[in-house]
Amino acid sequence: MIRIEDLKVYFHPRKGLFRTETVKAVDGVTLEIPRGSSLALVGESGSGKTTLGRATLGLLEPTAGQVVFDGQALSAMGPEERKAFRRRAQAIFQDPFSSINPFMQVLELVEEPLIIHGVADRRERRRRALEALEQVKLTPAEEIAEKYPHSLSGGQRQRVGIARAIVLRPDYIVADEPVSMIDASNRAEILYLLRELQERHGLTFLYITHDIAGARHFADRIAVMYLGTVVEHGSAEQVVENPLHPYTQGLLASVPEPDPANRFRMRPVIPGETPSATETPAGCPFVTRCGQVIEGRCAASRPGLEEREKGHWAACWLHGTFESDVKAN
């Protein structure tokens, strides 16, 4: 359904009066999302996850590379093709409080995409909007439809956002941190709802999150991003049960365990801060924070993604082949 080919998205903010700098938000990412499956993008804030998701929706123009949707490159689409693509690709946003208009009733919010895409029959719009509300478990739908957002909880608002995303019956949805601003008691319900909608409608998901534990339960595959690049990619089970990259290992080590005996033990954290995307290291992007640096390799050149076991890829010299090794053999 979605193929991302060596995608780069750079920004050039002004630095001073005459100078600009280059922010490498996404720096050479190649991924595929098969139809009907879900891929989780995992990483710390600033790793480029949201930028990559927006690029797959055509909301950002790539600096290089391309996004191919159902066999057609987004960059090659004309106005009519782009509008048809918009009907098939939707987004669920992170903040349910700022992503919906507080001055519109729920019915108007869910109907709006139908109006934009030319569903002129008012009764048909209402029928489809109420159907979408029922599918996201906002019942009785007729009663919820007349409410304004201020009278809804955060979880209910996010369900309205999901209903608005599915009302056009899309094929592809980017879910950008859809549970991060919801009470912990409601997060599992929202993820189960998304999984149910996926199974019912055959949806393809790009699930953006910083929670690798939650990604394990929702996604079929996980891609770990760091500083604009993918450092590990594999099935959810492979990445969580057998992490190959030190960054992935650090993310998993920092996940809290629901065990009262651990309340006095400090969880390990990844040392240091993520480098600026304007000054990325010449070698491995994780070299400044890694505790397993190989002298003369990690800082000298950047490792590429290599398949270490079937379907499990990692970009790390600990599991890679250095050019000098290849020449020696």
Interval 69-104: pLDDT, tens: 988 999 889 998 999 999 999 999 988 888 889 999
Name which residue leads in pLDDT, 160 or 275: 160
The number of helices, as runs of H, and strands, as runs of E, in the chain is 11, 14
Q: Is the pLDDT of residue 31 over 70?
A: yes
Rounded to a whole number of angstroms, the CA Rg of the chain reads 22
Tally of domains within the chain: 1
SS3 231: strand
Q: Given pLDDT bands bounded at 50, 70 and 90, which one contains residue 126?
A: very high
Residue-number span of the structural domain to which 244 is assigned: 2-328
Q: Given pLDDT bands bounded at 50, 70 and 90, which one contains residue 264?
A: low
Q: What is the CATH number of the domain that holds 294?
A: 3.40.50.300
Kind and range of the H or E run holding 223: strand 221-226
Which pLDDT score is estimated for 269? 77
- 29 touches 233 (CB < 8 A): no
Segment among 37-51, 128-142, 274-288 with least mean pLDDT: 274-288
Q: Distance from CA of residue 65 to its chain's centroid?
A: 18
Name which residue leads in pLDDT, 295 or 134: 134
Could you read off the pLDDT of 213-245 as tens digits, one per residue?
A: 888 888 999 999 999 999 999 999 999 999 999
Cα separation of 277 and 80, whole Å? 36
**Which tokens in the block code for residue 179?**
């549970």
Which pLDDT score is estimated for 328? 37
Cα separation of 122 and 235, whole Å? 44
Could you read off the pLDDT of 197-214 as tens digits, one per residue?
A: 999 999 999 999 988 888
Cα separation of 134 and 241, whole Å? 37
Query: What contacts 105, CB < 8 A, 6 or more positions away?
Result: 145, 146, 147, 148
**Which tokens in the block code for residue 26?**
């996404």
Please provide the average confidence, as pLDDT, over all residues in the chain: 87
Would residue 272 be called left, alpha or beta, if left means φ above 0 and alpha means ψ between -120 and 50 degrees? Answer: left
Percent of the chain at pLDDT > 90 equals 52
Which pLDDT score is estimated for 13? 83
